[in-house]
Each structure stands twice: as structure tokens, then as C-alpha cells.
Structure 1
């Protein structure tokens, strides 16, 4: 099968024999042509225009129609317009006359007699048999020929003449006559589209000996949209690249193919259209996300002219008719790029990268052009390549990350920058092949000229490490760099050890335990450098918090650390978690901490956005203070961002956020939502033994305790404690797991175990010395004590300590437990003030479970007469009046009794009337007067 006559090139006035052509996929169009021929054969004239994009196959269909017409007894005359012959007046009419045996007829242009001669020639032919006249590419036909066609059209309406005119969609006419002016309003129009998927498949099968799989056909259709000429060009490219293995070509390989001739032909074809060739080149280089402004800047064409050019290219169906500027056929874009010389194309891509960078395009788009700009120095693009490589690595595209970093190494870099890029390449290769990564690490460090520079890069890698896998690599880098430091480089050695310590302490149990062995060593060495002394204060503060030996010392050193310039270590998950734990009861230091971690610079952790860590700190401060709704708002928003990044199971900050949000939801009473969060995050089953998962175990234990799964709660909490003890991080300042485990033991009826654990917690809290930890431990003592008097004293002391902390919800719980204890001992009058405070505080915290429990206890404290009323008051009126007399507001009463405020107001009005008083101030005295006889 021969290739169809391409519309991309200039037609020669020679008709390809129909026997050599095939109209695969054009059965419907051929049926239309047969129907038109049949109508004309019985004496009805007609005119048909056939339009379609460049290369869609109009010429092939005209050839098949001519052959069909001849088989039906028609005389056929065919003429071809040509761009190079538009100045030759009468050229197309001369072609038609030759087919009509009118070689000797005088058809000289600009003569009325010539028009009449051509008309007589057509009429004489039509009198003998039906006549088909075809003019292909009428839009580039000379003016005299178009005038002659218009002349005969109006005079052959009573003859069996079918006139078929072919025109390229969107192509401007060569002269002043438009196609509509030539055909009038009576013409039939056939719009020729590309082949459908079935047609593409048939064409491929006819040209490929091997079986054609569906994916190959779909890919060919996708990149050519069924354009026959492009398909034949693609087949040529496939044969040139894959030989006889075309049947096994993948869709990706198809999308990368480029024709060898289309780019040049398109340049020639677009030459008459001002600026269009330059626009096509600019769009090809910029890619599918190009904008009008960037295309204009890239092409060097005036903005107004660029708009006109893009309009023309859309009408020619070279560009898509869409809001973005892109090619209709990806194969054409590949061809245009293939047509560019290598150096020119690289320079164009470098320019495109600069334009995209100036437009604040995403790094991945800019880096894609920088990859293609090899040989062109783009020093400004180094950071873009590194950021894009980091994103690619975290998205799992390691090959792209390697390519980007290797492209960065092509730039003339400083020794520091070269080592930094090499270590980032080590990181990427380590993720794919640990042995290969370690080999490259040894090579990179062996060629490092400046050991101090290596220290700085190692510190950066340690700060950037996110997952446990990355942390182990970063630690390996740090240890290898340490081994190269001399005894004179004490500060550098100390800094690297300190950062390695922080990375290890927040990792798995083995590394965390090893890190704990270096705590005292790091604390004993005080560096000379002021910046490192600030880091030393961080280590000292954390050391006290981890050991739980002195809250005062931990806070003092934290104050020193926070007094200096911003330090990146504060945003490391391990430091961040511990700091937020023991700074919550030092509000002024919490404010300093948030200011310290707030920064406009990009976070080290890829999963973090600017402001994420500050928002998490705020959320946890609100949780610690019992401001549950505000905590939920902040943590839930950050959780949504982590979900979008797919970071919840890997990023320590995301795991921390999920754990704390679970706690908030449990305290709010939204246990179903908390359970869904843990399941969705993958935290419902076994958890890795990493530090951040201790927080998940704690929050999961809290959820199970709230939902009645006491065995499951105890198992999670004890496992949390085991892991913390194993890593030598067991302090009430970190995770107060013992307090919840005491409640789980009590729920299971194991009071002795609860009392033992409560005493242990109390001893540790006394050593740590913060009001929150002491109050929490004394609350556990009071709950687990056998002696009621001792329990009451412990609970009362717990309220005193917790009142000194910021923990309003813990204080509300202590008031509730104290009130409940007094009521159970038969002292409801003493219990009421504490329960009232519990309702008040829990309502401010909006903790629905605690509001309900405290409300139930308050109702249980109500005095009830034999008749169930006081001085004619109903039982509900008695409850409401009693709580109002105790000082609760209408809102607090409504929340405690699950009533509306309006209902509370109605009950109070009824009580006032029955008691003969005018308002709330007289309630206590009125109720006491009516209760006095009952007690006597």
C-alpha cells in the first residue's frame, strides 16, 4: 500500500492511481460519496466541499471517489491547487480541460470568451455522461481558475455535474475569493476528521506484520488523533527505530517518537503566515503548560501578532482550541523538537526554564527544561534542580531524582555545593540500592577538599532526614565525617555528635538507646562557639526532660537556648515533641519557642510547608490548655495537608499530628471520628518501634479506654511504657502513659496494680517537679487508694497542683473525681462546689464526656423529699434551682442537664413563683428554709 498524498507538502498535478490507494477507516465517507454520485447520475447537479486539517487524507478520498465515479460511468476531471502556482492564472482550469479532452480550447485568462469556452467544454462532457469535477486544495488555486469554477457552477444546475472542492481547515485563501463565495449556500459540506481507533487499528494491521495489541493502537491514536499522514510518518519512525519489532513497542515509546520530515515541512508550510513558525517552535519547547505571554516572549513575536498567529494555528488545527497553548497532536510537537539542532534546542530549553522561573512555575516544570538544556550553564537553576530532585525522591521517582542531580553536577559548582549535591545523590541512590548509595558516599567523602564543609553538609543531611531509613543513612554520613576530623576541630566534632545524637534519639529503639549513652558526654563538653553553646543548652534542656530529673533546670536551659538566634534543631521532630511537652506550662517560653520555629525559609522536611510546625505547636499548646476546639481546628487542617502529601505513615511530624488530633477528638467525645482517623492513617494494627509511634500508642490507648476496650487500652499503654523505658526516655514530661494505665487497671478491677503504678508515677513526678505532672500523679493516687480519707486528700492536693498549671481539662477532671469521691462518702454538700467547677471548666473546654459525667454527679447530689419535690417544685425544677443556687450559669446548667437554655429559664421562672421569690439571689436561702424541716 502506498502512502496517501500528503497535504503537508505541495501537491503535484498528478493523480495517484486509485488502485494503489486504500481508504481504510473511510467507509462512511465513501458511502456518502456514492450516494452523491447516484443522485447526480439521474440528472441532479450538486456541489460538495470537503474540509479537514492538514494531512487528514482529503486527497486519498478524492482519488477513491474518482475511481468510484469512473466505475459508475462518470467522466472525471481533476485539478490540484498548489501554493507555488497561485500566480499562474488558469493553471487548475488547464488541468481540468486536459481531462475533458479540451487541450486545444483557448482558455487564456482575463477573457470572457475563455469563460464561455470552459463552460461549453463542461456542458458538452455532461451531455454525454454524468460528470465529476474535483479541485483539490481550492484554497491555493489561482484566481482565474476560481472565477472559472464560479462561472460554470451557476450555469450547470440543470446538468448531471458533481463539483467537489477540497480545502484545508483554517487555511486562508490565496486570493480575495473565499470558499463560501465560490460555492454559494447550496453546497453540501463534508468535514473530514481523523480516523477513529478502529480505523487506526486497521491501518496498523495493514502495515505491520506482527499482531497489533490494543495499547499500541491506542497510543498511536492518542499522539496522532487518527491523522493518516501522521500515522504513516509514525510508521516510518517506528520502522527506523525498532525494525521488525514494531509489534512489541510500548505506549511510552510511541509517545516519544518523532517524524523526520514533518518539522521541516511545517516550517515551509507556515512561512507565509507571519510569526506562526516561531510560535510553533516556542510552544513545542515550552510544552503543554505554555501560556500566551510565555509563548509571545519565547517566540520573540509581538503580543498582538502572537495572538493572531495562535488564532491561525488553532484554525489550522495545529494547536488545540483550549485555554492552554498546546499541540493538537503530540506527534507534531515531537517532530518540531526533532527538527531543531541540538545546541539550539538546548538554548531554547534554558530560555524556557528562565521564563517559567520568572512566572513562579513549579520546580518540576522548570527542572524538566533544565534537564534538556545540557551544555548551557544555568547557575541560577541549581536550587531548582535540587528541590525538584528532592520532590521526585519523596514521590518515589528515583530515576528522575538521579537525572536531576547529575544535571546539577554538570554546572560549575563551588566545592561546598558540589559536595552537597553529591550527598543528595548518595541519599537518592541509597533509597534504591543501599550498597550503591554507600559506595557513592565513600567516593564523595574521599574527594571532599574541606572537612569542615563536609561537617556542614552532614549536619544538613541529618536535619533533613525524615523517615527512619533516611535517618540511618544520615547517621552513617555523620559518623564517617566524624572519623575524618582532627583533635583540633573540637567544635565541629561536638556539633556533629550532637546532631547525630538528636537524630538517633528520635529513631528506633536500638539507635535511641545508643544515643542515650552519649547524653552525659555531650552535656559535659561546653563548646567555645556561641552558636554551639546555644545548641548545648538545647541538649541540656532535653537531657533533664528525658531523665525527668528537674523541670526547673529543663526550663532554665530552654530559656537560654531560646534567647539566641533561630536554630534549625528546634523543628526536628524529636526536639519539637519533647520541647512542646515540657514548655506547655511555661507560656512565655512557649511563645518564644513558636517564634523560634517560625520562619520564612523552606523547611528541611519535604513534607512540611511554611508555618506547619508553628501550627502544630499552637495546636498542642491548645490541647494542653484544654482549648479543644481550637486545637482540633489547627491539627485537623495540618492533617489534611499531610494526607494530601501522602506523608501520614512516614513523616514524624505527620504521625505526631495524627496522635495529638486523636487525643483531641477523644476528649471532645468524637470517638468514631478518632477511630476512623487511626484506621485511615494505618495506625490501627502493629506499629514500628520508632519514637513517634509511642505517641500513637498513647492516643490509641486513650481512645480504647474511652470506648470500653479496657484490655486493649492497657496493652497499648504498657507497650508505650516498655518502649520508652527501653530507649531510656521515661519521664512524666514526655508521655504521661502511667496515668491512663492506672485507669485501665481500675476499669479491669486490678486495684493493686493500679496503686503500684500510681505510686511509681508519683515518685517520678516528684523528681520532675512540675505542677501538671504532680497533679496528674496525685489524681492517680486518689483514684487507686483503698483508704477513702487518703484518697480524698490526694485528690484535693491534685486540684491545688493542677490549678497552678495551664491544664484546664485535667483540673476539671480532678474536680470531678474529688466531687464524686465526696458524694460516694456521703458528703454531697461538700461535693457540690467541686462538681460545679468541673461542669464549668469542662464546658469551657467543650469536653462532652466530662460535662456529662459531672452533670450526672451533680444530679446525684440533689436532696429529694419523700414526695420527690421541695415546696411544690417538680423534680426538674428542683435540680435546676439547686444548680442555680450553687452559682452555675444558665448555659452550664443546660449543658450539664442536656437541656436548652430556654427550658432552663422556664424551670427557674416556675421555681421563683412557687418559692415566692423574685430572682436568683434569693434561691439559696429559699431552698434552705424549705429543706430545714426535712433534716430535723
Structure 2
């Protein structure tokens, strides 16, 4: 998989052999790149063609010359074994007319290398003579039959003479070089799927990592695209959150898969093997002197052993200062897994002592303490807790592991009781950051339960109770777990209970724990859609000084600014967001990474304020801080914000990719509301990128997602519902669009919709009402939209309102006024950097332009729209431009109607009996509820049949429906 080009080149070589032309093929690449697999593939192709195949492989042990070719040569006499020319002639005769594969040539003895070079020269000369000979039937056959010589080797370990000869052959076209490079992500994904379906140990490991594109991307990056390392990682049950400190937790499977690698290690000298084990204990990059000390070698012997490891390409120079590292982290982890337990205990204890002497950072010390918790309990536990505190941002899964080990190492009584509650809460935070929300919630509830007053007669375990000053943090952690699991009512109740512990009014100086609780309380209200209730409390907290530091104070300011923008207070919010952006930009990456949700809130506030470049910059910075297994829930939020920006900016492929990844992450951590919104965003993106034929499928996809969300659940639900309404209107179901927005937005006026987006959604409802033929309702909705847009003063919201107003004026017959509003809307979308919406507006304006300025003006608008839409991949806009152009070409009487390409009788017959019955009644002017009563159907069933008829007939209003049915109507 992923080697199609390489195998095509090898097939060409075999084609030449069948025509009597020999060749030399060099297969080169990194260890684990699949060189042997390519050679096997070539051998299989040759065997299927009936060509003989001989294998020669360099043995890892043995003495005497020509060891590589002994099996290939077959029985030879004693006289022949010492004569290189005789060996060469013998091998040529044995390989004649077939394929000779020499694998692992970099391990060959000098005599075998010389023989290989002689064979290269012989085969190259034969190939050159065959190419220069005339291709006529009278051409005599060469004196010796041609053959294909395949040499597979690792360049780093091959002797210089061999490399020089092969390079010269490649430059002169005498040698075909096939390089086994890294696989791309698509090939890795296909390979994982293949292993998952296949039987065997690797497939069992693959089951846990083939759950989506994100897993394939992570494994591709970790393996560097090399299939050998990919197999090791999959066998170990790769865990993104632990990488690169650990490949996974299945060491037995890792050892089974690493058997060839461990055999390679077994061929080293005793000191080199000891140095390799010591290097595996040190992990990452290591100093040769420290490896020698742990291996029990002197300085000179230790350096010699490390030099042997470099020659064997097990370790390589890394960075500056003469440090070394295993050629791939999985190699070191396989070596570590192969070490005996007594050695590991002593080696890690010594490595920890060395790290302390050197003043190594806490995470490096914790890697050694992890192996000592059962022997050096409390001491190792404190080292682990220190390491977890420093690594929780980058690798929260590793931090959670270390904290669990530290807690288990503490005694039940006596020393360590003061640290336990602090470590328990830190463990909860690490679990949340690594996406293990259910586990974090259970632990947080347990901590709070143990700290509650006991009923009469129940004994209290004082060691399990949290100190009073930590209770606000415990409530904050518990509320965060509930919030991220989309249990907003529970989260709000828990946070409110914790807030009751704080004095009111708030003190002049807030503790770090109290600041954390206030911040979490605010986040809960934001996601519940009740942010207006929390704004006074947040402002009160902002006036206090916090002991949590500058980063926490900045986070509180960002939350307040976000609430201002979300509430529609754009005048105050715009100034506050600008001030907060300056504060956040001044934070170093390490500090900003501790609060990646702040970057998300800031980016989304800027998105609502239509400051797209700033929003994209902050969301991308937050995404960088939440890489790997860190902050999966926050990463999903950031991806959703970027999806929206990319969709508006016309980067539709990127938007679909981000929405898919966000949904995968949300499913992994168990946040259903995020899955809903990501699915709805992807559906809307696909409508634009795949066209009207996909609209029905996209509407169904979005509808299924929204069906899983209880209406009125706050920000996530209303955002997803608005996307479903957009898809419904584009798909020809205006009644469904209206119903969705009314149900999901809290009724007329959309009180539960974010004010920052309300004007555009009211404008969308106006268009849906207009499509349903209710001009009066459309005008009332548009008036409300204009009032809201005036309060917000956001250009893109005004552009949406202007576009809806233009269509309403056009329906009233005011084409000149409509064209003016279309132009204002188009200019708003152009300056805002929304090419797809700009194109959609130009297309909608084309019929009006034809009526006011003539057909040429309309065609110019359509050409401009297509020029905008095509680079974005907006198929829907291109299709619509084509339809409008066809309608304009059909004449003025058809200018306002969709081009159908069929007569009205054909259209009538395209409908089902029930769709035809509903459509005919709708065309007479009856409303859906009246039709439902007449046909004894439900209101929803009528709307469903009507929407299906709209899509089949290519219309979007009842007036157009009546015209499309034409004389076929009774």
C-alpha cells in the first residue's frame, strides 16, 4: 500500500527481462521503510511470470568470505570458493534468465561486497549492450542470458565503495534506484484498516487506533511514515497522549513485533548491548558518559560501545553537545521492554541520581521515578508529582499516569496526607485535559462526597476530606467535568453550590481557588446561554486582585469580553476584546498553553466581531498549544471556530477536514453537543462544495445530528440548529427552515439565539417566509433584523440583512431598489473576505440586474460570481450561476424561474402521488396547516412532502411551484 509508483517501476524492469534485457536494481531506504517488502513484491511478480528467483541475504554471524552468496551459489567446489571470478561466473550462471535478490547488503563481508560490485559491473555492461543492439529478429542472442540483480541495503551502514559504485551507476542510467520513502497519511490509513481487518497480533493492536483520520495522522507523524515503526507502534497499542515517552502499554506485543530488531541488537558486542540498555533507560537524547556509567563501563570502553551502536545505526547523533538518541523512539522503548526487572530498578535509581546531580528538569526525573514507586514510595511520588505539574500542558495523559502512581505510592496514614488532596485535584485536571472526562467526573464527585458532612453515626475519614481552602477548586473541577460532558444543569448547580462558600461581596483579594471557581461558573453560564446573568459577578471578580497570577486575571478579562460580545454589546465588547488581545499576545507560549481555552474564547469573540484574521491567529495558536493528546475538548472547540472561518473564507476542503477532526475528537471524549455542531458544520460545507444534488443528503445529515440535541440547550444547540435551517432553505424546504429556527431559537424574535448572529438568522427567516409566499411575515421579520443589525453595527450581519431586503423588494416589484441593496450586500461580503457569499449575492442579483440594466449586466454578474466560486470549490454557486444564466437565456417570462429542462407535464409526473396532491393544494395558496387538515396528515408530513417536491422541481416558493406545475394542475 502506498508503493504503487515503486512497483510500477519494478514491473518495467521485469518487462525488460522478458525481452532479454538485464538490469541492476538498487532498493534503498531507512530502517523500517519496507525495503525487504519491495524486494518480496518484485520476487512475487517474477514468480507469477514464471521467472526463477534466487535469494541471497547477508547473515548476521558467521565467518569466511562470500557468506552472502553461499546459499545462492549452491554446491561449489573448494577451488571455486576462493576465486572471486569463479564465484562471479557461477552466480551469473545460476541467476541467468531470472532475478537474484541480495538483501541486507550493508551487513555483507568484504569479499561479498566485492563480488556484488563485480556482478553490478557485469550486469550493467550486459544491459548496456542489450540497449545498444538493434532490435531485429536477426540479432544474435547475448552469450550469457540476462538477469536482474536486486541489491537492498541501508545507505548509512553500507561501505563507501559500494555507495560510490551505486551512485555512479544511477547517474549513468546503468542502475535503477528505487527508494522506499515514507508513506503518506492516506497509505498509513489504508494500512491500518488492512491490519485491523486481518488476523494476527498486529490486527489486535490496530483495533484501538483505526477509529478515524486523526488517529492515522497521529500514527503517521509518530512513525515518520515508515511501515516498520508503524507496526511497532500499533502492536504496543499506540497512545497519542503518552507519545513519545511511551509507545503504548502493551509491552509483550511490542517485544513480539520487535523480534528482528532485538536480533540485530544481539549481534553486538557485550559492552555495546549494555550501553544500548543503559541508553534505553535514559530515554530521549542521552550523554554517552551517562550511558557508560549506568552500563558499568569505563569512560573509554563506554565511548567505544556507543561508537559501535552508531555504526550499527541503532543510535544517531542528536542535536549539539555530542548527545545521542535511538534512531526512532520505538527502538529505544523495545530495548527497554527487553531489559530484566532487577537491571531496570538499579539502572533507573542510578539514572535518577545522575539527573538530580545534573539539575535535570522535573519531567526527566519523573521518567525514572515512575519505575521506583514500589521500592522508593514517597520519595518517588513527590518526584512524579513535580514532573506532572510541569508536563500537564504538553502531555496530560502522562501527567495523569504519574499522579495516579504518586497517589498509589502514598501511605494511608502519616506522611503524605497533606499532599494527597492537592494531587487528587491535579489528577482530576489532568484526566480532563487528556479527554478522560467520565473518569475525572467520577473522581471529582468522590472527593466532594468524602468532604461533605457525615450523617449521625457515620465515621468520617479525615484523611480523605479536602481542606476548606481547596473546596472551591474541587467544585470548579467537578463543574468543569460536568460542563464538558454537556451536563449543563448539573454543572451550574455544582458551581453554584461552590459559589455559596465564597463571601459576598467578593473580597478585595481572591484566592487562586476562588478565581478558578468564578471562571468556571462563568463558562457554564456561557454554554447554557445564560451569560447575561453572570456578567455582574464576573465584573465584581475582575475588580478584585487575584492570587492566581497575571494569566488567571487575563483569562477572567477575556471571559468578560466574550460575554459582552455574546450579549450583543459590541460597542463595549470590541474595546475589551482589543485590550484582551494585547494581554494574551504578550503571554509567552508556555503560559498561554496552560490556559488554551482563553485563546479559544478570544478567537471566538473576534469571530463574532468579524475580525477574522485575529480570530484565526488566536485559534491557531491555541491549536498549537493543544496538540497531541492534550486538551482534546478545547482542540475540538478551536477546530470548530476555524471551520467557520475557513467556510466563510472559501477554504471549503480545509473546513470539511477540520469539522471531521472536531467530530472525531468530540466523540473520543464524549461531548455530544460538540459532535452535533461539528456534524452540522460539515453538512453545510458539503452543500457548498458538492452542489444541490447533495443538499437533501446534507439536510438529512444535519437533521440527524440536531435530533440528538435537546432544543434550548444553549450555545451549541442554537448554533447547530441555525446551520440546519440554512441547509433546509438551500435544499428547497423553507417551511422546514422556519420551523427549525422557531423551535430552536425559542420562538418569534429568536430570544435564545446569540445576539451577534441574530440579524442574519432573522434575515434567513424572512427569505424562508418569502419563499413560502408570505410577504407580510417576511417584511415583519426583516424589520426586526434591521433593528438588531443597527444595534450591532457589524458589516457582515448588515450584508445578510441587505441581501434579504433586496429579495423582498424584488418580490414587490421594486427592482431598482432591490439592485441597490444587492450591491451593498455584495460589497459587504467582498470587503469582509467572504468570496462564496459574495458570489451567491451576485447570482441572486443577476435577474434584477437584467430587469434594470439589461442582460449584459446580468451576465457580467454571473461571470464574476463563477470566477469567485470556482477557486473555492463552491459547486453549488457554480451550478446556481448556470441555472440563472439558462433562465435568462429563456426569455423575460422565465427570468424569475428555475430552468427545468422539461415540460410542466413531465415535472408533474416526476412527483409521487402524495407529493403531487400536496403540491397542487399548496399552489392554490393553502398553508401547510390547512393542507394537513384537509388530507388528514400531520403538519410535519405536509412540510416533508412539500420540501421533496421543491427539490424535485427546482423551485423555492409556492408561487414558483404553481408556475412549474403549469397546465398540468387541475
- TM-score, L = length of structure 1: 0.47
- TM-score, L = length of structure 2: 0.46
Which has the larger Rg? 1
